[in-house]
Amino acid sequence: MRKPGPSHKPRRSRAGRKPLRPSTLTSDRCHYCDRLLVLSHYDQPDKLTLDHVIPRALGGTGENTDHDNVVLCCLACNHAKGGRTPREAMALGLLPHSDRAIETEQRAITALGSSVDL
């Protein structure tokens, strides 16, 4: 077992972070394509990831714990969506059309208010 030495830095505390809402974590399907998600250490297309509905570059919050701006999705949809909103990604044909995703985007825009740069 490794002993902490002078160069050992303690892990940052997670205090102050809000936990994800239970409804975010209860789904086992991608928010965008409805694919069954898996926990994996490998970059598989169906790997579970967290996606910022409104990307941070467009004014979405940077914390993965924001209740209105984070959804579970598969790695393939997360990569395809990239730095776009769900509506933009659907218009380009990168994500399948989903009324649920459009509703979530609208909820996130409302919650984030004027900080969103769309």
Instruction: Give the rounded percent of residues in the chain with a pLDDT score beyond 90.
Output: 39
The string of pLDDT tens digits covering residues 58-101 is 888 766 555 778 889 999 999 999 999 999 999 999 999 989 89
Residues 18 and 65 sit within 8 Å (Cβ to Cβ): yes
Q: Which amino acid is at 39?
A: L
Q: Between residues 53 and 115, which one has the greater pLDDT?
A: 53
**Is the pTM higher than 0.75?**
no
Confidence band for 19, pLDDT divided at 50, 70 and 90: low
Which residue segments constitute the domains of the chain, with CATH numbers given?
22-108 (1.10.30)
Element (H, E) at 105: helix 99-112
Burial of 78 (0-12, 13-18, 19+ CB in 10 A): buried
pLDDT at residue 95 in the model: 94
Residues across the chain: 118
